[in-house]
Chains A and B, each alone.
Chain A
Amino acid sequence: MSGHQGAKRHYETEVLIIGGGVTGTGIMRDLALRGIHSLLIDRQDLNAGASGGNHGLLHSGGRYVAADAETAAECRAESELLKRLAPECIDPCGGLFVAVEGDDPEFAARFPDHCAVAGIPCEEISPTEARKMEPALSEKVYAAYQVPDATVDPFRLTLQNVNHARRLGFGDFLPHMGVEGFDIEGGELKAARCRDLRSGEEVLISARQIVNAGGAWAMNIARLAGCADVNLIYSKGTLIVSNTRLSQRVVNRLRLPGDGDILVPGGTVSLLGTSSVTIEDPDDARPTIAEVDKILAEGAVMMPPLADTRFIRAFSGVRPLLMASGAAEDGRKASRGFSLITHEDQNLSNFVTIAGGKLTTFRLMAEKTGDLVAQRLGNSAPCATHTVPLPTENAVGWTEPGFAARDWYQRADASDMILCECEMTPQSAVDAIVSDAPGSEHHMSLQAIALRSRVGKGACQGAFCAMRVTSHLYDRGIYDSPEGLELMRDFVTERFKGVRPVLWGRQLPQMELAETLHCGLTGLDLLGAKKPGSGRAS
């Protein structure tokens, strides 16, 4: 597949997929099951965009019944399918919708009818019953409904998508590969001009079909191909992660979507969100203190114990919202549906953009994209992702909170050292990822391991595990130059963005210790600083 043309690295593939989120990887798998080869690229790594920065709620559809019955019905159908086909990625924990004093009673009263229209099972329960199920609920809850919400581990979903395509022999993944332009000739994109962002090298990728699954960056990518028909607004959403799991079920506030109105469990933690802030640049999405305080204040109305909960991190993702002409400029009201843009009216015959949608509906988005691409390639194999289960294997199972701990205790192998104590991630997990996980064909780093496991996500925020994993990677020869410390510096710098807004109470001393270890014991703040006479100094 790889060859040379002039000085540039050159790849050829049937289909180039741009964007390693759940959509791009879903398309990769969809095509592989049809026997179509694809090359997936991401300018960062898998799950670097919204797919690594969301709530992980596998929507029953309940949240959309009032405003968007079509999306609600899609969510219902897709969530049912995924529960069957990718059970390892899903916790079918159920969900509650609760109205709190002050919330519009009429809105609450209409909820069951709206659910019925979208075909979503919905059962009314008494507030007392609801508080028995979720003791953290406020005394002020006056109405409650049960729906089949679930949670999904988006990291695992993405990894399993890529892994399946890889194992079928019909997909390859290149991380750190950013598209910078296209060679356009006779109504076709002949090749994508890319750059290997680790080495700086230019790379040319020729493909018969090119899929833009760039999420919030899809408009930028489409413009590189001269297309003006993708119009997005960017809505930043911020979430905060607690140190413990605060509810068994997903808890939704029964009102029009607003800030801080969903609490989603994720294994051993809970995620409270979100905010919705329109931003100009999708690359500028870091959580702020103001957002965190607002989400927390709102969340505590529904679940009062949130006010005294220890939060260990915040993060933000960007929702790319499709602007139909004349639509409101409000992030939450714009369509949550997706669209498949064929670009044929832009006089291109081999380019397609898939934009919008949800994590919950990624499979359907991939199916629609796969149908178009297959038809254009003259391949008549039907979509198989609604019947073929998503296979799993060891190297892709480490992203679920609590999984590593269970696995480690079950195996009871004392020689398998724990590298990350908060998340109980052992050396064997890191080794499995480094040798076998999607992307392991390429350079692995602390950051890449963190995207494929829980490393660095626990209460210590990478104070210890960053050092331990780095040492382990040196021992294994994965790191063989001072770059390993620079990668550690980049990792802890990136983690800090999410930690900064939740630094108070018991989390702040953790940060103080982390800084001492990263600076005093490792010298990361002075990497590269020279001292007269001797070599590098800290």
Chain B
Amino acid sequence: MKRELRRVETGLAIIGAGLAGFAASIFALRRGLDTAQLGHTGAIAYTTGYFDLLGVMDGRVLDEPWAGLDALREAEPAHPFARLGNDEIREAFEIFTDAISDMGIAYSKPGDHNLSALLPSGVAKPTLSVPATMLPGVEAFRTGAKTLIVDFPGLQGFSATEFKVNFAASWPALSVCRIEFPGFEGQQLYPEVLARSLEAPHGREPLAEKIRAVLDGAEYVGLPAVLGMHAPDEVHADMERRIGARLFEIPTIPPAVPGIRLREMFERELPRRGLVLVPQLKVSRSELGADGAVHHLQGPLEDLEISARATLLATGRFLSGGLYADQAGLRETLLGLPVVQPSGRDNWYRRDYLDPRGHQLNRAGLETDAQFRPLDAAGAPVNPRLFAAGAVLAHQDWVRQRCGAGLAIAAAYGAVKAAAEMLNGSA
């Protein structure tokens, strides 16, 4: 059988379906660009749901991320954040969280200070914006409120006791309770399955009833993040009403619900807003030319050829496949772009795993100019129509600096802005 070939023409092709890719689509649609996003789902299903801007510098936890960014620009002038001003980053963050809230998952407004958000280990994490379903947890921790943490036998890696024991010194008013998740007794539990079971209102009452029975005057109740998939805010509000206490979610180990929610929402909502989305496929090959690029994808039944006047690469790092390492060195997988990297494998990782300086390998990636255009070995843009954003960029360590989402959003904003200027100027 002969395979069909489908050709699509677009203004901007965004490659990658992580936070950077989706953020780029949001910014591009807002600017009225004709946009296609081509992406294989990656690390997004792993995220906690928290959107960090800048949480740590030099091993210190930051309370004021904006002042932190000013200091970062001084200390690390090559950091991708240094390509943008605070006003632009703030605008990017706000547009992004507003868009998400508008599409169906409410997020807290990014403020002037970092929030202390809760991790399942019983440790707080500095972040800037959290889902509305998690925000009461931040308040409960800040005020030390009387709080009940509930866990479910069979849900691996989430222990209310661990949470309580590790928070005990700073949050004595915690208590814990383990209850069987109604309908799933005696089984291994998967957060995604539990979340889907709470979508329909009749699935909620048995759980609410069990929690009510053990509430014992708690003002807040914390649960693993399983409060619905498509309308978490509605499930959250309904469960609060049924239980009669403030309720919050705590992230779980991946694959986790908050990331899956985001992915499903983007995939559902962005095409309605005009995005041409080609999900679940990898771009197998791209050709860059003077007038744009052609991207090739192989679907199950047909081949796709996307011609784009501009391209934004948001393919992530090793886990997502944007970068690859062999014994000899690192490379960018789609276009063979030069990768800034430490010399030799012995310099990739430090000897101490948790060395506070972070590993040099994490700062490897694509070198770009102020317009987020990848540079060649001579320091000139590889192609005037090629841009890059997100974790694939060099000179950042998003894991240690706690800046994953912020970097994805800010760089996507900057790259889309530059792409739009190029397209509008050259149209």
User: What is A's interface to B at a CB cutoff of 8 Å?
Assistant: 286, 289, 293, 414-415, 417-419, 464, 467-468, 470-472, 474-475, 477, 479-482, 484-485, 489, 492-493, 496-497, 500, 503-505, 508-509, 511-513, 515-527, 529-538
Contact = CB atoms under 8 A, between A and B. Distances in A.
Interface stretch (B114-122, B195-203, B305-313): B114-122
B187 A474 contact: no
A464 B351 contact: no
Interface in B311-355: 317-319, 325-327, 345-346, 348-349, 351-354
Given A414-B186, A471-B162, A474-B159, A509 B318 contact: yes
A472 B59 CA distance: 29
B67 interface: no
Interface in B144-179: 154, 156-159, 161-162, 165-167, 169-171, 178
Nearest to B123: A523
A537 B157 contact: no
8 contacts: A417-B156, A419-B156, A474-B165, A515-B399, A520-B399, A534-B124, A536-B166, A538-B126
Main secondary structure of the interface of B (DSSP, over half): loop
B400 interface: yes
B262 to A, nearest CB: 16
Contact of A536 (B170, B325, B346, B348): B170
Q: Which of A471, A475, A482, A485 has the most CB of B within 10 A?
A: A471
Contact of B165 (A293, A479, A531, A534): A479
Contacts of A538: 61, 119, 123-126
Nearest to B349: A500
Interface in B348-385: 348-349, 351-354, 356, 359, 362
B353 A493 contact: yes
B31 interface: no
B205 interface: no
B141 interface: yes
A530 B170 CA distance: 11
Given A493-B353, A503-B325, A472 B141 contact: no
Nearest to B167: A535
B345 A537 contact: no
Q: Sorted from nearest, which 6 A-B pairs have the closest CB atoms?
A: A535-B170, A496-B353, A474-B162, A471-B159, A523-B123, A509-B318
B124 A482 contact: no
A290 B182 CA distance: 55
B116 A537 contact: yes
B171 A535 contact: yes
Contacts of B157: 464, 467-468, 471
Nearest to B121: A522
A509 B324 CA distance: 9
A517 B178 CA distance: 24
A414 B119 CA distance: 28
A393 to B, nearest CB: 27
A523 B169 contact: no
Nearest to A531: B61
B345 A531 contact: no
Q: Which of B123, B141, B170, B178 has the most CB of A within 10 A?
A: B123
A407 B158 CA distance: 25
B241 interface: no
Contacts, number: 172
A414 B318 contact: no
Given A500-B349, A535-B170, A535-B171, A512 B142 contact: no
Contact of A520 (B48, B188, B348, B354): B48
- Chain B contact-residue range equals 35 or more
A302 to B, nearest CB: 19
A503 B345 CA distance: 8
Given A513-B46, A526-B56, A534-B142, A508 B353 contact: no
B94 interface: no
B269 interface: no
B60 interface: yes
A505 B123 contact: no
A415 B353 CA distance: 35
A522 B120 CA distance: 7
Contact of B126 (A417, A464, A527, A537): A537
A531 B159 contact: no
B162 A537 contact: no
B188 A417 contact: yes
A289 B346 contact: yes
Given A485-B166, A504-B345, A415 B318 contact: no
B110 interface: no
A289 B345 contact: yes
Nearest to A307: B327
Interface string B122-133: 111110000000
Given A417-B154, A503-B325, A531-B116, A522 B123 contact: yes
Contacts of B60: 529
Given A471-B156, A480-B165, A516-B399, A537 B318 contact: no
Given A467-B253, A471-B162, A526-B56, A493 B352 contact: yes
Interface in B232-287: 251, 253-254
A454 B354 CA distance: 23
Nearest to A470: B162
A503 B319 contact: no
Contacts of A520: 48, 125, 399, 402, 404
A519 B400 contact: yes
Given A471-B162, A521-B119, A535-B167, A508 B253 contact: no
A414 B188 contact: yes
B188 to A, nearest CB: 5
A532 B63 contact: yes
A504 B327 contact: yes
Given A471-B162, A504-B326, A523-B124, 19 more contacts: A415-B154, A418-B156, A418-B188, A477-B161, A485-B122, A493-B353, A500-B349, A503-B349, A505-B326, A515-B362, A519-B400, A520-B404, A522-B119, A526-B59, A527-B123, A536-B124, A537-B116, A537-B124, A537-B125
